[in-house]
Structure 1
Amino acid sequence: MRLSQFLAVGCLSFFSLASHAEILTGLYQVREPVASQSPDERTQATQKALETLVLRLTGDAKALQSPGLEAIRKDPQQIISRFGYDAGPPESLQVDFDPVSTDRALRQAGLSLWGSNRPALLGWWLNDSVEGSSLVGDGQSVAEPLRRAAQHRGLPLRLPLADLSEQLVGTAENLEGSNPAPLKDASERYGADALLAVHAREDDGKWTAKWRLWVGDQQEQGSAQAADQAALADAVMLAVSERLAPRYAVKPGVSSEQLLEVQGMTLQRYAQLGHLLEPFGAQLKRVDGDRIVYLVNGSAEQLRSQLGLAQLQEVPAQQVPAVTDAGQAPGVAAAPAPQLRFRW
């Protein structure tokens, strides 16, 4: 059955494809540490959870203070589906926010929204402490603070195995250097969308870190400091999240509407494309063989970043066939041409 025939009868099945990007689970679930289960402590932790969630979904530290969220700030319960306590350690309040009402509130407030399909991040993290120097590897106990921080800030984090060959690559010189080639070569087998290199140091009981982030050919960098490793991991992941969000978050009413064509479609790819275009309010316009056209609300740069998560390639303008009116029925207007074209 052709894709167009399949869509016409509305029998859509969801399939998952191998791609680097990840659908982040638990995006609307937030855990905040508490000292007790008293009502006052719960109220404070709930407000903190709301702050964490809004920052996680928008990448904007000032978003919660938006006038459009005043009612939510006063009464977060209207977007909370349930809450409970996790014994830990540390003991924490777990708040589950309702995705539908949360997204609606953010959109009505005119805020940018970063969807659940997010770039997979491979983290090269080197710790230098009084106990020596060590590269954090997948499966090590020292990796847990990094994983918790990444989940808390809404980032899909992967870690290298930190075997002998990777320890030779994950040096302070490579992690702090501006040339990502050694790390990129060693990262190929992990299939990530972005590389995060962090060199953390302990000095007089405090931790500092220098970090670099590579997304394609673009680089971001920064530094962080904290009292312990867990707080340092959270500070780094927060900074990375705030740098990544503008690439993917879509603000209602700001981005322009445009037609997007994707070539090489199959039934399996349809579900994946739907996830990718979810933040852009995609509306299916037409299907022609293995080509599908959507009306989307987003900038060209954001669409390129989002579709790049699934390794789609943009079709250069010079490769687009010229449009002719041959065979066009009299009195029938030609379909508008897409402004952006991509292919699998």
Structure 2
Amino acid sequence: MRNISKLYLYLTLLLVNLCWVMPAQSERVADLYSASWPVENQSTGVRQNAMQNVFAEVLVRVSGNKAVVNNSQIQAVLSDAQNYMRQYSYKRLSAEEQMVYERPLLLVATFDSQAIHRILKEAQQPIWSENRPAGSFWIAVEEDGQRRVVSESRDQVAIAIKRAAARRGLPIVMPLMDLEDKSEVSVGDVWGRFTGPIKRASERYNADYVVAGQLSQSGGQWMGRWSLDLGGNVENISSTASSKQQVVADLIDQIADKLAARLSVVLSDQVLAVEIFVENINTLDAYAGARRYLDGLGMTQSVRVLQVKDSAVLFEVKVQSSPQSLIDAINIGNNLRRIPTDQGLGGRYSFRWRD
């Protein structure tokens, strides 16, 4: 029976492999090619001015590079934002959101993804794929002598964090701070950035990295001290500004910059083949998940199966970057875990699919 199951899996994977010749697709950051800008009204003049800002924001999100708008080739196309727009709409903001955005409406616009990629590639700018690591954010705020952990709510700090993360295309999750969270982590743990309890509490959110920190006010200035835990490597970041929204935006920018530095790539015209050996592929769902994950990486041109043996699959991944850029992109997520003994000999790298 076991051999029959293996044969069934093998034949099924071969059939899927033969049929699956589409371009790279994977789980994506929602609306990566859409962005928004706060506006006072829906007049044509206001919309046209705001559209350039929305277009610039999309270029920053997709490239992962804040300085992309300083590139001369990029600046030349910003005024043509309307030519690349596919659709736009308006969203009326709640009272809490208006306190953060300082306007009653958001102009939301979506741009053509292929045109965005072409613009960035012609300007030799990096591209960061839609398949991005998700982070759990544990932030303690001190106001009026009281400390609290920002949760998934309409709290102004939560809105500011979500706005800044959306601006950079970062998928994030805020803790619920329900009984389960409170039993694992305290306000003091978050304020002190004690990684042990915070990482344990983050397991339920299936995050690829964890951010913990504090936000406080002193002498009219807001200060944030955060820690980014990415695969066990902890980096401390800080910022000071006149408003908590500015501090949050700057700290999110720093996190996005660090992630993009590892994951965004300037696509090459040269295509290289890299072999990725994946263990623990016991079901078709696991196979589909591993393939989607590899397909969704920004440097991936195509993926195909070379071999199926027992519960392992050998993929050939063709990339428009260096093999190391591919491995770095895989390592930053939680879906595929590098096998400790793997040395990447002969251009083959070994991973284990997470259950």
Fold in common (TM above 0.5): yes
Match of 1:273 in 2: 291
Match of 1:57 in 2: 62
Q: What stretches of structure 1 of length at least 5 have no aligned partner?
A: 17-21, 323-336
Aligned partners of 1:258 and 1:297 also within 8 Å: no
Q: Given the alignment of the two structures, is residue 158 of structure 1 paired with residue 173 of structure 2, yes or no?
A: yes
Aligned partners of 1:293 and 1:338 also within 8 Å: no
The structure in which a higher percent of residues are helix is 2
Provide the rounded CA distance (Å) in 1 between the counterparts of 2:352 and 2:191: 34
Match of 2:101 in 1: none
Paired letter, 1:217 = G
Q: Given the alignment of the two structures, is residue 169 of structure 1 paired with residue 196 of structure 2, yes or no?
A: no
Provide the rounded CA distance (Å) in 1 between the counterparts of 2:343 and 2:87: 52
Q: After superposition, give the CA deviation of every residue in 1:125-173 in whole Å (9 maximum; x if it has no partner).
A: 1110115111112245443332232222211111222246745734456
Task: Tell me how large the CA RMSD over aligned residues is.
Answer: 3.2
Q: After superposition, give the CA deviation of every residue in 1:165-194 in whole Å (9 maximum; x if it has no partner).
A: 7457344565455x6223212222222110
Report the identity percentage.
25
- 1:286-305 residue pairs with structure 2 within 5 A? 287-289=306-308, 290-305=313-328
Residue 8 and residue 257 in structure 1: after superposition, are their counterparts in 2 closer, same or farther (change >3 A)?
Answer: closer
Residue 238 and residue 218 in structure 1: after superposition, are their counterparts in 2 closer, same or farther (change >3 A)?
Answer: same
Q: Given the alignment of the two structures, is residue 3 of structure 1 paired with residue 13 of structure 2, yes or no?
A: yes
TM-score, length of structure 2 as denominator length: 0.78
Q: Given the alignment of the two structures, is residue 228 of structure 1 paired with residue 238 of structure 2, yes or no?
A: no
Residue 310 and residue 188 in structure 1: after superposition, are their counterparts in 2 closer, same or farther (change >3 A)?
Answer: closer
Tell me how far 1:112 sits from its aligned partner: 0.8
Tell me how far 1:221 sits from its aligned partner: 2.2
Aligned partners of 1:260 and 1:296 also within 8 Å: no
Residue 313 and residue 230 in structure 1: after superposition, are their counterparts in 2 closer, same or farther (change >3 A)?
Answer: same
| Alignment partner of 2:231 out of 216, 222, 229 | 216
Q: After superposition, give the CA deviation of every residue in 1:91-118 in whole Å (9 maximum; x if it has no partner).
A: 1211111112112211222111111111
Which stretch of the first structure deviates more once superposed, 60-69 or 306-315?
306-315
Paired letter, 1:103 = H
Which stretch of the first structure deviates more once superposed, 261-270 or 237-246?
261-270
Provide the rounded CA distance (Å) in 1 between the counterparts of 2:178 and 2:321: 42
Residue 339 and residue 287 in structure 1: after superposition, are their counterparts in 2 closer, same or farther (change >3 A)?
Answer: closer
Provide the rounded CA distance (Å) in 2 between the counterparts of 1:46 and 1:3: 45
Residue 171 and residue 291 in structure 1: after superposition, are their counterparts in 2 closer, same or farther (change >3 A)?
Answer: same
Provide the rounded CA distance (Å) in 2 between the counterparts of 1:191 and 1:111: 31
Paired letter, 2:164 = A
Tell me how far 1:122 sits from its aligned partner: 0.4
Match of 2:39 in 1: 34
Q: After superposition, give the CA deviation of every residue in 1:63-97 in whole Å (9 maximum; x if it has no partner).
A: 12223324422312222112232222431211111
TM-score, length of structure 1 as denominator length: 0.80
Paired letter, 1:52 = E
Tell me how far 1:275 sits from its aligned partner: 4.5
Match of 1:326 in 2: none
Provide the rounded CA distance (Å) in 1 between the counterparts of 2:67 and 2:155: 34
Aligned partners of 1:214 and 1:220 also within 8 Å: yes
Provide the rounded CA distance (Å) in 2 between the counterparts of 1:154 and 1:53: 9
| Alignment partner of 1:201 out of 190, 194, 216 | 216
Q: Given the alignment of the two structures, is residue 282 of structure 1 paired with residue 301 of structure 2, yes or no?
A: yes
Tell me how far 1:234 sits from its aligned partner: 2.4
Provide the rounded CA distance (Å) in 2 between the counterparts of 1:182 and 1:317: 29
Q: What stretches of structure 2 of length at least 5 have no aligned partner?
A: 1-10, 99-103
Q: After superposition, give the CA deviation of every residue in 1:232-270 in whole Å (9 maximum; x if it has no partner).
A: 332222221111111111112399834132334564334
Tell me how far 1:123 sits from its aligned partner: 0.4
> SS where residue 16 of structure 2 aligns?
helix
